[in-house]
């Protein structure tokens, strides 16, 4: 392998839109019962999660100041980035004032007073959960389990970030909220479906955010916005009240600028609700981010699972991931090209994914407002539900054995692949495509992430560098069941060497 490091090109200004195309713009971020504040100058980016917690504990900053800065920065960037669907400004400022009183009294919690955001597929009491859909929804009566745990750790939830409709696509655009844009270049998508969370963290609107990942929806936007994104083991972070979300494909996970921040957020939200189906034993992610795992055997795989698109990595993605593999070799790890035995894993993914979409779409009070592609997936999921989806899930044990042979038989510790085959597409790339053509286009761009959702195993996106035009790309570290600590430790070692957190977008 070449020893050259990837060139991290200077970010470019936003490219002009394609001639003749009207750009979508999102509505002003909303808080029920509150008028938007007037536009203000953009404050500086917020510090990271661990740094914010340290400054609060040392009394060098107040929670009220941090939360106010986050709200100001969100509202100032909303016309350009459109990262948020809802703010809870008044409630967040009241909670920040209470956090300041608790801090002054000597109370200490991992995230006491730190502002964070959550994706709009996650219930926050008092706010509607649109999950990227158009139309009106009633406010949630109670917090989801993940939000309850965030609050128990002391975090202040400032708002809910945009998601594409029912989390289906690797872009965050829709008639209900407009287009969320990439802070590195606003002509391009930040990815999806956790694109709002990724844009918010990359632009320094919040120190970290929670996303969800059913086919790469944390890892893909992390790759396309230069972030660390952790897809944990199934059940590591509760998805309650959705129980077995998307037939077991979807998990919640953190997006942050550093491994330590992502690990800290993972520790804060990890744990099961009493009614959850999946209950893996606890991990200590923050401890793992400070641990040396020793020399590892790492398999580098370029060939994605069979998707019938002929997808392979863009040359600039391949260059960046090759350079990251060279870094791992220089750090003392054994890196060797290999080919996981994916088999026909897509035959298990499609019924589970479309059945999950059908389950969520059936809850929408106004089905006519759903995207035609969603209605197509609903029909497919209804046909493939029941016996077909049960058979697809029953195959998981054999898939664990076949793909797990890479670890159990061949002796590799980690699988390294590109996170996506392509750099982030332009806003509107998927406009006016049929359901079938959308599926083909997004599968060609993102063929690598979804098999680990079928398996339920953990993965971590790490920044791999930039294209020559300044667009971020990423690589994913994938492991066998319950291997988060190994992956986090390896990601932290890479971060120490490559120091990707020193690069910020020009927002």
SS3 128: strand
Is residue 217 part of the annotated active site? The answer reads: yes
Nearest alpha carbon to residue 505 among 85, 194, 45: 45
CA 375 remoteness from chain centre: 25
For the question of residue 289 being annotated catalytic, the response is no
* Strands 178-179 vs 297-300: parallel, antiparallel or unpaired: unpaired
Residues 6+ apart with CB under 8 A from 4: 323, 326
Backbone angles phi, psi at 41, to 5 degrees: -60, 150
User: CA 265, CA 322: separation in Å to the nearest integer?
Assistant: 29
Q: How far apart are CA 383 and CA 386, in angstroms?
A: 8
Describe the crossing of helices 49-57 and 63-77 by its angle, rounded to 10 degrees. Answer: 150
Q: How would you classify residue 20: left for phi > 0, otherwise alpha for psi between -120 and 50, otherwise beta?
A: left
Two tokens, residue 308: 């019938």
Which of 193, 197, 238, 289 is the catalytic position?
193
Query: Do 148 and 273 contact (CB within 8 A), yes or no?
Result: no
193 is catalytic: yes
Report whether 66 contacts 96 (CB < 8 A): yes
In 375-445, DSSP assigns E strands to 414-418
- Of 175, 222, 232, nearest in space to 202 by CA: 222
Torsion of CA 188, 436, 476, 83, to 10 degrees: 40
Judge whether 141 and 125 are in contact, CB under 8 Å. Answer: yes
Active-site pick, 217, 289, 376, 483: 217
- Residues in CB range of 20: below 8 A, 6 or more apart: none
CA pair distance 287, 292, nearest whole angstrom: 10
Just list the catalytic residues.
Answer: 119, 193, 217
């Amino acid at each position: 392998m070449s020893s050259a490091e990837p060139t991290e090109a200077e970010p470019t200004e936003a490219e002009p839109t394609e001639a003749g195309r009207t750009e979508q713009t999102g509505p002003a971020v909303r808080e029920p019962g509150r008028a938007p504040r007037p536009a203000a100058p953009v404050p500086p980016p917020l510090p990271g999660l661990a740094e914010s917690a340290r400054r609060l504990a040392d009394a060098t900053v107040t929670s009220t100041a941090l939360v106010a800065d986050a709200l100001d920065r969100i509202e100032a960037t909303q016309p350009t980035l459109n990262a948020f669907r809802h703010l809870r400004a008044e409630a967040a400022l009241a909670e920040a004032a209470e956090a300041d009183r608790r801090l002054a009294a000597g109370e200490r919690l991992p995230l006491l007073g730190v502002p964070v955001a959550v994706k709009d597929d996650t219930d926050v009491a008092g706010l509607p959960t649109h999950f990227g859909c158009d139309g009106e929804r009633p406010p949630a009566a109670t917090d989801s389990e993940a939000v309850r745990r965030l609050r128990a750790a002391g975090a202040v939830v400032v708002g809910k970030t945009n998601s594409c409709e029912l989390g289906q696509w690797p872009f965050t655009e829709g008639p209900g909220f407009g287009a969320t844009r990439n802070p590195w270049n606003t002509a391009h998508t930040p990815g999806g479906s956790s694109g709002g969370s990724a844009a918010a963290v990359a632009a320094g609107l919040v120190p970290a955010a929670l996303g969800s990942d059913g086919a790469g929806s944390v890892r893909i936007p992390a790759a396309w916005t230069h972030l660390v994104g952790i897809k944990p083991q199934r059940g590591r972070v509760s998805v309650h009240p959705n129980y077995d979300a998307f037939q077991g494909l979807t998990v919640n996970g953190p997006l942050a600028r550093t491994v330590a921040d992502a690990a800290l957020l993972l520790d804060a939200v990890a744990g099961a609700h009493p009614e959850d189906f999946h209950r893996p034993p606890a991990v200590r992610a923050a401890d793992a981010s400070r641990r040396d795992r020793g020399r590892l055997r790492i398999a580098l795989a370029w060939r994605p699972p069979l998707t019938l698109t002929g997808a392979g990595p863009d040359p600039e993605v391949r260059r960046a991931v090759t350079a990251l593999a060279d870094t791992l070799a220089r750090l003392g790890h054994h890196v060797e090209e290999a080919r996981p035995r994916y088999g026909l894993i897509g035959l298990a993914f499609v019924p589970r994914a479309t059945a999950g979409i059908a389950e969520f779409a059936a809850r929408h009070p106004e089905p006519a407002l759903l995207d035609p592609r969603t209605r197509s997936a609903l029909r497919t999921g209804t046909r493939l539900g029941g016996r077909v989806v049960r058979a697809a899930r029953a195959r998981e044990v054999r898939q664990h054995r076949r793909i797990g042979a890479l670890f159990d038989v061949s002796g590799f510790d980690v699988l390294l692949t590109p996170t996506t085959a392509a750099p982030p597409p332009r806003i509107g790339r998927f406009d006016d495509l049929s359901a079938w053509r959308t599926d083909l286009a997004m599968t060609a761009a993102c063929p690598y992430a979804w098999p680990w959702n079928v398996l339920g195993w953990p993965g971590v996106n790490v920044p791999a560098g930039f294209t020559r035009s300044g667009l971020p790309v990423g690589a994913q570290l994938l492991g066998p069941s319950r291997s988060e600590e190994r992956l986090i430790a390896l990601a932290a070692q890479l971060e120490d060497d490559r120091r990707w957190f020193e690069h910020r977008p020009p927002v």
